[in-house]
Structure 1
Amino acid sequence: MSPLRPPSPPHPSGRRIKNPHQLIAESGADLEGHGLKRTMGLFQLVCFGVGAVVGTGIFVGLSDSVAEAGPAVVLSFVLAAITCIFTAFSFAELGSAIPVSGSSYSFAYATLGERVAFLVGWCLLLEYGVSVSAVAVGWSQYVNELLDSLFGAQLPAALSAGPGDGGVINLPAVLVVMMAATLLARGVRESAGATAAMAVLKITILVLFCVIAFTAFEHGNLTPFFAQGAGGVTAGASLAFFSYIGFDAITTAGEEVRNPRRNIPIAIMVCIGLVTLLYCAVALAAIGALGPKAVADRPAALSIVVDQVTDSTVGGGIIAFGAVVAIASVVLAVMYGQTRILMSMSRDGLIPRIFERVSPRTSTPVANTWIVAVVFAVPAAFSSLDVVVNLTTIGALATMVAVNLAVIVLRRRNPEVKGSFRVPLYPLSPLLGVAFCLYLMYGTGWATWVQFAVFLGVGSAVYAFYGRSRSRLAGAGAAR
């Protein structure tokens, strides 16, 4: 356990940087943090990570990646995984050394300074917040597919789609957000248990899909393998990366995990490895059974593959059920991560204090949870959100660049802060993590870069006119 230190003195460069020892002490990370209870074990933490990752990206986004890369989409998933692995090493070291709930935001605050930390937290609104709305809309679509498979009927368009999709209000999308909020507000034990059950179920269904699809596998469907060339593999990897977004949510549970210094690194590595194997197997099975063109043209390709192979609609119904479960678990896990990020920012005074309040009855940030639910249920209810996949991806990659740099800075500035995991091949590994992230950011296209620049500009203005003057770190410096 690291010794407690006084508040960080001003950094020679003038940047506001919070001492890692102070960060740990304020969160109570080695004990019980701000009323949060340590109820999650390693298995639940792995399931939480899988729950945050496996969802819309593989059930819906596979067709987009195949359209870019063809059969070589398998390499796109591997390239995206390599990017994740290098960054996962950095997350694992930082998560075990600084086991607090703020994840990338807190790591940046302890190394790169308050302004960068605020912008990292701002980017996490894309990775966690905006994606909740988009994923909820996807959940609504799969609910209708499941109802059609089971009963031959669907919900009225007016009540299951936003105005942009010919409806009035998307009630199922609102429902899944509110169900997730209810579970999260009741307690971490309940939400972690639900996430674990859903993670096991959706992995089982995807494995079942692979077993069925490989019975119709034809090698000819994989040729030509590099149908779109190396550029297609890169573009496919930028899209495939969306399928991995969420694994870093594991580090947001730093204050609610038993033995976080050991369990967080293990959970991150197991999650990345398991998801990569699953994605590559699903992609090979789907393309081998139908061919790349058929998969690229069908957003619901997994259901169609099973229907054709089994010559029945029952299999497609099972896949639709799996998608409903998978996407619901993503909403639950991602909302959890968003509330913990906001709680950490609130503790630092950068956003209103209501986000840091923990209920003494449930040991959860109840007000924070319901604010997040309401704010992101509104766009889910009234927008089509076709979406922001590239914008969400570039935001996530930008935070990962910051995390890789944070490892290097932490080792140089605070070599005494150590966890149970150390990045291998340091400093090559984090530098490669930065390089791969920038490479995939390049693949999102110039239009996405323009949108992202505007988004960062707004975030910088919010920090300048609100967060900077209310920062508790600045207040502590003034007091001295």
Structure 2
Amino acid sequence: MSNNPVKLTASLSLTSVVLFGLAYMAPSLVLVIFGVIAQVSSGTAPSAFLLATGAMLLSALSYAKMARLFPVSGSAYFYARQMLGSQLGFLVGWLILLDYLFMPMVAWLVQSVFLNVQFPAIPVWAWMLINIVLTTLVNILGLSLADRTNKLLTGLGIVLVLLFVVFCLIFLGHEPPVSLTEPLWNASSTLVGVSAAAAVAAYSYLGFDAVTTMAEDTRDAKRNIPRAVVLVMATAGLLFALVAYIMQLVHPGGVFEDAQIASYLMSVEVGGQAFADWLNLGFIVSGFASGLIVQLSTSRLLYFMGRADVLPRPLFGTLHPRTRTPVFNLLFTSVIGLIGLNITVEMATSFINFGAFLGFTAVNLCVICYFYRTRRTRRLGLFGYLLFPLLGMCVNLYLVSQLSSTAITIGLCWLAIGVIYLIWLTRGFRRSAPELNMTERAGG
């Protein structure tokens, strides 16, 4: 029985959870990375996004299957425990902690860098502290406030993306494109180039899995969480591809004066300097939602692992009696975020993908294990429960192989620390890793 009587409240709707997932992925992200994707793909950015969407959808379908079977907040960690055993499950959880622990730091750091560019009088470190304090305060005050704030800011982000698209379409009305098919395939296109661009674009889809950490905060989680996972991936993927297609019509080809700021230069072209500056400011404001939701999902995973005694329960496995939020976890992620005061965006993002893609690989493997465990008693489709998860594993392992040597080194060091911690927890593998009692699912 739990020592903590405070329970999570299942109050979120399907719409709220989908918007949480979209906030994690950031609707405006397509504008940020468009130039790089178009450059690598030789002017076929929408095809690269469509290919990346299809590749990552394989893992999203596996998450949806596992979330329907296990509607709890442990995400990949809990799925792996059930399908792969307690010790492998622990290591999967440890790996995805690398992603979840440092993702808030990345979100705050990126937001702070953009704010510093817009308001250079205030240094990055000051914006970092402002972002961390505001995000943490909203999350501590309760899920309802976080939900309302996210709906407002994510809605603003989507509206601004669509506004940019409208200005692009007006521009195209005066400057009709030479070809409507060139953004999909052109004389410079190669399968290798589009695939390489898709691999870069795939890193933009991290976060669709985060909605599974909100299972115990969601009404009818067994039905809504699987739907939310697929809806988040499909919505973001189609939005990215559609916006990239319109942008590619405005700017055919993959040659840019500066690929890193291609969307800003394009917004100046289609709407003027004032439009570009206000649009950029709007995206920065709406980007606050990303840090908010990333920290929220991280706190839920830490809470679940604390409840299971994998992390110290008195600290990580408790909720505030009034706000029903894991206050210690939120403060803990804030402290982790302070590491970002001394590193660059490139360094911060270089290693979190290691844990994310190996976590995705494990969830696909879980679906395959479920297929083999139940094939004698249940009729399961070969495509959905064997072929698609196998393809998903291959995609994610390929993406891991494309990471920098620094990212892989840091990831392996993190995994080694996890193995040492597991040896200590299990007293030299003489007993199972701690496991959550399923009667505690709704408890603290």
TM score, norm. by length of structure 2 = 0.86
Within a 5 Å distance, the mapping from 1:246-265 to structure 2 comes to 246-265=207-226
Give the deviation of 1:366 after TM superposition. 0.8
Q: Please say if 1:272 is aligned against 2:227.
A: no
Instruction: Give the 3-state SS of the residue equivalent to 1:430 in structure 2.
Output: helix
CA distance in 2, matches of 1:444, 1:383: 19
Give the deviation of 1:274 after TM superposition. 1.1
Within a 5 Å distance, the mapping from 1:80-119 to structure 2 comes to 80-119=52-91
Instruction: Give the 3-state SS of the residue equivalent to 1:70 in structure 2.
Output: coil
**In the superposition, relative to structure 1, how do residues 469 and 343 fare at CA in structure 2: closer, same or farther (>3 Å)?**
farther
Q: Please say if 1:382 is aligned against 2:342.
A: yes
The worse-fitting range, judged by mean Cα deviation, of 278-287 and 460-469 is 460-469
CA distance in 1, matches of 2:285, 2:105: 16
Unaligned runs of 5+ in 2: 437-444
Q: Please say if 1:439 is aligned against 2:439.
A: no
Aligned position for 2:42: 70
Within a 5 Å distance, the mapping from 1:51-450 to structure 2 comes to 51-54=23-26, 57-147=29-119, 154-156=120-122, 159-160=123-124, 170-217=125-172, 218-219=177-178, 222=183, 225=186, 227=188, 229-293=190-254, 295=256, 297-310=258-271, 312-353=272-313, 354-376=315-337, 378-413=338-373, 425-444=384-403, 448-450=407-409
- Matched to 2:411, the amino acid is F
Give the deviation of 1:369 after TM superposition. 1.0
**In the superposition, relative to structure 1, how do residues 351 and 324 fare at CA in structure 2: closer, same or farther (>3 Å)?**
same
**In the superposition, relative to structure 1, how do residues 34 and 361 fare at CA in structure 2: closer, same or farther (>3 Å)?**
closer
Q: Please say if 1:458 is aligned against 2:424.
A: no
- Matched to 1:264, the amino acid is I
**In the superposition, relative to structure 1, how do residues 47 and 476 fare at CA in structure 2: closer, same or farther (>3 Å)?**
closer
Can you list the C-alpha shifts for 1:260-287, whole angstroms capped at 9, x where unaligned?
Answer: 0111122122211111111112222223
Give the deviation of 1:307 after TM superposition. 1.0
CA distance in 2, matches of 1:399, 1:363: 28
> Is the Cα contact below 8 Å between 1:238 and 1:393 reproduced in 2?
no
**In the superposition, relative to structure 1, how do residues 372 and 96 fare at CA in structure 2: closer, same or farther (>3 Å)?**
same
> Is the Cα contact below 8 Å between 2:16 and 2:147 reproduced in 1?
yes
CA distance in 2, matches of 1:476, 1:207: 46
- Matched to 1:116, the amino acid is L
> Is the Cα contact below 8 Å between 1:68 and 1:235 reproduced in 2?
yes
**In the superposition, relative to structure 1, how do residues 288 and 33 fare at CA in structure 2: closer, same or farther (>3 Å)?**
farther
Give the deviation of 1:256 after TM superposition. 0.6
Can you list the C-alpha shifts for 1:207-240, whole angstroms capped at 9, x where unaligned?
Answer: 1111212334434674973646333223222221
Aligned position for 1:22: none
Say which structure, 1 or 2, has more relative contact order (CA 8 Å, 6+ apart).
2
Q: How many residues end up aligned between the 2 structures?
A: 427
Q: Please say if 1:36 is aligned against 2:8.
A: yes
Instruction: Give the 3-state SS of the residue equivalent to 2:83 in structure 1.
Output: coil
CA distance in 1, matches of 2:377, 2:226: 16
**In the superposition, relative to structure 1, how do residues 295 and 469 fare at CA in structure 2: closer, same or farther (>3 Å)?**
farther
Can you list the C-alpha shifts for 1:138-175, whole angstroms capped at 9, x where unaligned?
Answer: 2112223444xxxxxx324xx32xxxxxxxxx111222
Can you list the C-alpha shifts for 1:398-426, whole angstroms capped at 9, x where unaligned?
Answer: 111100111222344468999xx999633
Q: CA RMSD in A?
A: 3.1
- Matched to 1:433, the amino acid is G
> Is the Cα contact below 8 Å between 1:209 and 1:302 reproduced in 2?
no
* Percent sequence identity over aligned pairs: 25
> Is the Cα contact below 8 Å between 2:299 and 2:326 reproduced in 1?
yes
CA distance in 1, matches of 2:377, 2:304: 20
CA distance in 2, matches of 1:260, 1:476: 21
